[in-house]
Structure 1
């Protein structure tokens, strides 16, 4: 399915929400997570807002920084 270029895809929004949820659960700032993952806080902010199409390598770096297997960040949000 094609998506409007101005709005993030559902999978990107889901990853963004999971990343933010897990970061906040660990009381990490975007800057703190960036340091752990060797990524800029600005990049992490863009990922969390769903405006950055993240690579698998960076997804894995963030998962490792959070102490999670990558698959955890890809699970649906529990509402």
Structure 2
């Protein structure tokens, strides 16, 4: 979570890490393609926090994490998912 707050899962934006290491937005459960997931609250401050850090952390297991450093394309995809979120 970018802002590190807690919300109900169905109110969050879901992103998955695919087999090629790309971060993809999952808008519906049917769009899921397997892989690790991370959830962000639909708040632009959350997006700003993630973009400022430049990383997303996908939990692989209780003890292991996958840290993805966002490149420019991944950052744009992330921002695109927030397009329909009301401005705070």
TM-score, structure 2 as length reference: 0.26
The structure that is strand-richer by fraction is 2
Q: TM-score, normalised by structure 1?
A: 0.28
With a CA cutoff of 8 Å and minimum separation of 6, indicate the structure with the bigger relative contact order. Answer: 1
